[in-house]
Amino acid sequence: MAVIETNDLTRKFGDFTAVNAVNLSVTEGEVFGFLGPNGSGKTTTIRMLLTLLKPSSGTATILGQDTRRASKQFLQQIGYMSQKFSLYTDLSVRENLTFFGRSYKLYGKQLKERMQFALDMAGLKGHENTRTSDLSGGWAQRLALGAAIMHRPRLLFLDEPTAGVDPLSRREFWDLLYNLSQEGTTIFVTTHYMDEAEHCQRLAFIYFGNLIAQGSPEAIIEENVPGTVISFEPDDPIDVLRTVEAAMDSGEVPPGRVSLFGAAVHVVTQDVERMLPFLEAQFANAEGNTPAFYYETPSLEDAFIALVKQADADGQSG
Amino acid sequence: MIARILNIAWKELLHLRKDRVLIPFFIIGGIVELTLIAWATNQPIDDIHTTIVDHDQSAQSTALIDALDDTSTLAHETSANNAAAVRSKMHRDETVVGIVIPEGYAEDVEAGAFPTVRLILNGAHSVKAQEARRAIEEVTFEQGMRERFNMEPAEYAEMLPQISVRYNEDLERGWYTLPAESGFIFYLFTVVLAALAITREKEKGTYEQLLVMPYRSVEVIIGKALAPMVVGFALFLAMMGLTVFAFGVPFRGSLPLLMVLAIIYLVAELGKGILMSMLSRTQLQAVLLVFVLAMVDMIFSGYAVAVETMPPFIRFLSNFVAIRHWLLIVRGIMLKDVGLSVLWPHVLAIIAIGTVILTFTATQYRRQAN
């Protein structure tokens, strides 16, 4: 069953189209990653899904409700945690949880029980009276998550929940998300981190307002990085990059993609038999060292670089 | 619904309690303000600097000067040779009143004619000048009665109008200003608190979170207005107590009536505060907006400037300013012991203004939420 379903969801601000005819489909119980660079329309999309912003055209159906006609009551089934962790920093841990719980109609014994749950989850037992501003990033983040799920939402929106948090805390946070997902909560999460994106069951990638990919990480990689990745670290990567690009354009080697990954060059090709000798030949006569060549499994990052290049090329030709 | 409103109100009270500056600022500020005003309005306008030019130098002119000096209002500080010297003193702001007694003053008095004394006033000090003029007219009137008609005070008193002052028997200015000031501090305090209520969340980034919680707009608005209401009301009671017990302004009317009307008034003004809060992005913006608003309200309130003397159109506009009605209610109940039978037009006006503001605020909130 689709928990989130959008149909040509579009939002314009004046002449600027922030979100352009986006069709998303999120199934119940999955961890769905929503990716895209800053300013690509991620936040605008989330705001529309949360009924904070009206679509210019198109529709969004959340938990079977059309967001344009949804009453405030439907928000009772939704949890939301933003990148600022959305806690009241002048209030204590207990005060924050009490306010969140009561806002979602938890009172008395039920409230106490869920507060205990949130405290356990955040590892903040014994710190109930600490001012939230005194908590470090990881604690505050887990407390915010606890506050957002106290009322057992069916659907949880997380807007860059790990921004500015150390790697260990990020790891722990994702473990918590998996547990939640296992219990049946659908999670819609935006992130910048590719390693996190690979942990999602399905992904959507938005670029300049357009959805340019949607599917499981494996499918997205397969679709956009057909072939093998040859990785090597030459002394002058830029120079090599240009040479390979020129050779691909002239037809000297079969078409593929080439891109920089830090100090490394990634060459994606369907014809290793012809590509590898060409690459080795580049270093045969040179004075510098011949780098070692590795075959790598294409990563999501390879896929997104391919996607962005394709989108930019389409944008230029269109 | 009530539990949900109270949840928001509770959270807002926590914010106020944890703010170490805001509440103390208003309590201390309010007390200092009231004390200063009580002190300042208690100072009679006395010993106005007077320069006298006596061209006559006679027993009669000296008697006139002594009589003027005997009033508490005037103080004969210096003498000058001629009117030009007085004007030049005024130019340098060294004197407020100049009195020129002409040559032949004594002869005129003896002859039973009307001697003309010239009075030069420094209009740049209009309040003092008015006061001096009144005192001098009184003295010359009494002198005239005595010298010209040989009448004793008891005789000519019958010619004077019978004056009885009601409500403020001694025409104490503090009785007028202090209740109004209490009402004004009450207004400013609650509007500022309300204006901070939503901008605080916008600044901290929690506003979105609040908007995605299953609250109805009316629940958020009432919840957010409730906290400033409670604190504002407590402050108002304190200011009233200070006005009555420390500064001796009488409280003649019904306290319960004033309290009930204060709540009605409060609701109207809180709507305005919340509206400012929605229109601003930061707390600073909200406070500045409130101050602009307060200045306009102050002028229309009839507190600083008398509304009665304004042009008809402005006077008409002032009817749409809630604080004008509110100050009339405060003074009416405190000094005149009037009830609803007299005050009802003002109560209705506040209810009408409040309804318009609150409706507009709720629509704005709903529009912003989308």
Q: What's the pLDDT band for B5 if we cut at 50, 70, 90?
A: very high
- Given a contact cutoff of 8 angstroms between Cβ atoms, the answer to whether B4 and B221 are in contact is no
Residue B59 has pLDDT above 90, yes or no: no
ipTM metric = 0.82
- Given a contact cutoff of 8 angstroms between Cβ atoms, the answer to whether B70 and B50 are in contact is no
Domain ranges of chain A: 2-221, 226-297
Of the candidates A264, A207, A189, the one whose C-alpha atom is nearest the C-alpha of residue A34 is A189
Give the model's pLDDT for residue B346: 92
The CB density around residue B229, as the number of other CB atoms within 10 Å, is 21
Give the model's pLDDT for residue A102: 95
CATH class of the A226-297 domain in this structure? alpha beta
Of the candidates B143, B129, B126, the one whose C-alpha atom is nearest the C-alpha of residue B98 is B129
Question: CA-to-CA distance for B250 and B168, rounded, in angstroms?
Answer: 9
CA–CA distances in Å: residue B210 to residues A103, A237, B228, B370: 9, 50, 19, 13
Question: CA-to-CA distance for B347 and A32, rounded, in angstroms?
Answer: 57
B14 interaction partners in chain A (CB closer than 8 Å): 90-91, 95
Closest-CA residue of chain A to B8: A99
Question: CA-to-CA distance for A232 and A295, rounded, in angstroms?
Answer: 9
Q: Using H for helix, E for strand and C for coil, what is the string for chain B?
A: CHHHHHHHHHHHHHHHHHCCCHHHHHHHHHHHHHHHHHHHHHCCCCCEEEEEEECCCCHHHHHHHHHHHHCCCEEEEEECCCHHHHHHHHHCCCCCEEEEECCCHHHHHHHCCCCCCEEEECHHHHHHHHHHHHHHHHHHHHHHHHHHHCCCHHHHHHHCCCCCCCCCCCCCHHHHHHHHHHHHHHHHHHHHHHHHHHHHHHHHCCHHHHHCCCCCHHHHHHHHHHHHHHHHHHHHHHHHHHHHHHCCCCCCCCHHHHHHHHHHHHHHHHHHHHHHHHHCCCHHHHHHHHHHHHHHHHHHHCCCCCHHHCCHHHHHHHCCCHHHHHHHHHHHHHHHCCCHHHHHHHHHHHHHHHHHHHHHHHHHHHHHHC
Question: CA-to-CA distance for B249 and B252, rounded, in angstroms?
Answer: 9
Relative orientation angle of helices B22-42 and B217-241, to the nearest 10 degrees: 40
Of the candidates A73, A74, A80, the beta carbon closest to that of B209 is on A80
CB contact under 8 Å between B205 and A73, yes or no, is no
Question: CA-to-CA distance for B252 and B219, rounded, in angstroms?
Answer: 38
A140 interaction partners in chain B (CB closer than 8 Å): none
CB contact under 8 Å between B11 and A73, yes or no, is no
Of the candidates A108, A105, A87, the one whose C-alpha atom is nearest the C-alpha of residue A96 is A87
Question: CA-to-CA distance for A190 and A192, rounded, in angstroms?
Answer: 7
Amino acid code (one letter) for A229: V
Token couple for B155: 């005789």
Q: Which residues pair with B57 in a beta bridge?
A: none
Q: Which residues pair with A86 in a beta bridge?
A: none
Q: Give me the sign of the Cα torsion angle B266, B268, B274, B280.
A: negative
Pairing of strands B48-54, A2-13: unpaired
Question: CA-to-CA distance for B176 and B304, rounded, in angstroms?
Answer: 11
B15 interaction partners in chain A (CB closer than 8 Å): 88, 90-91
Q: How close, in Å, is residue B19 to chain A by CA atoms?
A: 8
Q: What is the mean pLDDT of chain B?
A: 86
Give the model's pLDDT for residue A262: 83
Of the candidates A50, A87, A105, the beta carbon closest to that of B212 is on A50
- B198-238 tens-digit pLDDT: 899 988 888 889 989 999 888 888 899 889 888 888 888 88
- A230-265 tens-digit pLDDT: 898 888 888 888 888 888 888 888 888 888 888 888
Of the candidates A52, A90, A105, the beta carbon closest to that of B212 is on A52
Q: How close, in Å, is residue B223 to chain A by CA atoms?
A: 12
Which of A63, A75, A81, A102 best tests the B interface by mutation, with the highest count of B CBs <10 A?
A: A102
Question: CA-to-CA distance for B200 and B211, rounded, in angstroms?
Answer: 14
Residues A263-276 have a mean pLDDT of: 86
Question: CA-to-CA distance for A87 and A144, rounded, in angstroms?
Answer: 6
A90 interaction partners in chain B (CB closer than 8 Å): 14-15, 18-19
Question: CA-to-CA distance for B308 and B316, rounded, in angstroms?
Answer: 10
CB contact under 8 Å between A52 and B370, yes or no, is yes
CB contact under 8 Å between A52 and B208, yes or no, is yes
Give the model's pLDDT for residue B308: 79
CB contact under 8 Å between A99 and B206, yes or no, is no
CB contact under 8 Å between A52 and B15, yes or no, is no
Residues B14-21 have a mean pLDDT of: 90
Pairs of residues, one from chain A and one from chain B, whose beta carbons lie less than 8 Å apart? 65
Q: What's the pLDDT band for A85 if we cut at 50, 70, 90?
A: low
Question: CA-to-CA distance for B119 and B135, rounded, in angstroms?
Answer: 12
Closest-CA residue of chain B to A87: B206
CB contact under 8 Å between B212 and A53, yes or no, is no
Q: Is B239 exposed, middle or buried (0-12, 13-18, 19+ CB in 10 A)?
A: buried
Residue B45 has pLDDT above 90, yes or no: no
A54 interaction partners in chain B (CB closer than 8 Å): 370
- A31-52 tens-digit pLDDT: 999 998 888 889 899 999 998 8
Residues B304-309 have a mean pLDDT of: 77
Q: Using H for helix, E for strand and C for coil, what is the string for chain A?
A: CEEEEEEEEEEEECCEEEEEEECCEEECCCEEEEECCCCCCHHHHHHHHCCCCCCCEEEEEECCEECCCCCHHHHHHEEEECCCCCCCCCCEHHHHHHHHHHHCCCCHHHHHHHHHHHHHHHCCCCCCCCEHHHCCHHHHHHHHHHHHHCCCCCEEEEECCCCCCCHHHHHHHHHHHHHHHHCCCEEEEEECCHHHHHCCCEEEEEECCEEEEEECHHHHHHHHCCCEEEEECCCCHHHHHHHHHHHHHHCCCCCEEEEEECCEEEEEECCHHHHHHHHHHHHHCCCCCCCCCEEECCCHHHHHHHHHHHHHHHHHHC
Q: How close, in Å, is residue A182 to chain B by CA atoms?
A: 24
Give the model's pLDDT for residue B174: 78
Q: What's the pLDDT band for A131 if we cut at 50, 70, 90?
A: very high
Of the candidates B11, B211, B216, the beta carbon closest to that of A52 is on B211
End-to-end CA distance of chain B: 22
Residues in chain A whose Cβ is within 8 Å of chain B: 50-54, 72-76, 78, 80, 82, 84, 86-91, 95, 99, 102-105, 107
CB contact under 8 Å between A52 and B369, yes or no, is yes
Report phi then psi at B117, rounded to 5.
Answer: -100, 135
Closest-CA residue of chain A to B3: A102
Residues A178-205 have a mean pLDDT of: 90
Give the model's pLDDT for residue B370: 55
- Given a contact cutoff of 8 angstroms between Cβ atoms, the answer to whether A43 and A159 are in contact is yes
CB contact under 8 Å between A104 and B211, yes or no, is no
Q: How close, in Å, is residue A113 to chain B by CA atoms?
A: 18
- A146-183 tens-digit pLDDT: 999 999 999 999 988 888 788 888 888 899 899 999 99
Q: What's the pLDDT band for A286 if we cut at 50, 70, 90?
A: low
Residue B268 has pLDDT above 90, yes or no: no
Question: CA-to-CA distance for A233 and A226, rounded, in angstroms?
Answer: 22
- Given a contact cutoff of 8 angstroms between Cβ atoms, the answer to whether A212 and A205 are in contact is yes
Does the A2-221 domain belong in CATH 3.40.50.300?
yes
